[in-house]
Amino acid sequence: MLFPKVSSLLINFTDHHSHILPGVDDGVKKMETSLKVLERYEQLGIAEVWCTPHVMEDIPNTTAGLQARFAELCEAYQGPIKLHLAAEYMMDELFEERLEQGDLLKLGDEGNQVLVETSYFTPPMDMDAILRRIKQKGLYPMLAHPERYIYMNKERYKELKNNGIRFQLNLSSVAGAYGSEAKDKALWLLKQNFYNIAGSDLHSLRNIDYWSTRAPRALKQLFQSWEK
């Protein structure tokens, strides 16, 4: 089970997907806001946070640039939360170039996972080929928020899992932040035990109270219904 103790979901929780690295994408813009987010995270009991800024053709962050900005965040933040740096890669031509060059910021303590995403509406051309190339590099593809991809259905999720693709849940999805379809898909994927990790996908300070209160409540109701 991904969440063994829903009542204390966020105590010692690791947020594997966030956009709190300031001023690098469509997430948090200022360092002071990032510090306020981390202060609120401390109050919730969160233990670790992965900063996963976007990298795509429209937001072509470089590894060196993100590392420099992350160093600034680590210097500014003096609290107990353990900070990590990875990235959320759109599976586009820029990603394929970075993959070939071995120029990726990897997710997870073992440094062998790559957080990837697609358009919400259509898959990239040769998606399965891209995923195979990631695995050929000795890495595990971690698909960000699969419940939000409109073009995916249950059979496609099963196919991806059978091919060794890992899934990351957005906690806001089970709270209904992205609509009923994404919520229903998230609940189904949870019931299949398809998710490997979870994250907030937080982009702003105002998002925190929404997912941190509603997601635990929704998950508790879900698990109670399974026990009946």
Contact 131, 163 (CB under 8 A): yes
| pLDDT per residue as tens digits for the range 110-159 | 999 999 999 999 999 999 999 999 999 999 999 999 999 999 999 999 99
Residue closest to 18 by CA, chosen among 65, 62, 70: 70
- Supply the pLDDT for residue 221: 76
Looking at the domain assignment, is residue 179 inside a domain? yes
Looking at the domain assignment, is residue 5 inside a domain? no
In sequence order, the β-bridge partners of residue 166 are: 142
Looking at the domain assignment, is residue 3 inside a domain? no
Domain interval for residue 191: 10-227
Looking at the domain assignment, is residue 150 inside a domain? yes
The two tokens of residue 73 are 């965040």
CATH number at residue 154: 3.20.20.140
Q: Which pTM does this prediction carry?
A: 0.95
- Domains held by the chain: number: 1
Looking at the domain assignment, is residue 22 inside a domain? yes
- Supply the pLDDT for residue 58: 97
DSSP summary character for residue 90: E
Q: Which residues of the chain have a pLDDT value below 50?
A: none
Distance, in Å, from the CA atom of 35 to the CA atom of 42, rounded to the nearest integer, reads 11
In sequence order, the β-bridge partners of residue 114 are: 141
Contact 120, 150 (CB under 8 A): yes
The two tokens of residue 124 are 């990239």
Looking at the domain assignment, is residue 130 inside a domain? yes
Q: At which residue do the structure tokens 């249950």 appear? A: 154
- Supply the pLDDT for residue 4: 55
In sequence order, the β-bridge partners of residue 211 are: none
- Supply the pLDDT for residue 192: 95
DSSP summary character for residue 8: G
Looking at the domain assignment, is residue 113 inside a domain? yes
| pLDDT per residue as tens digits for the range 25-35 | 999 999 999 99
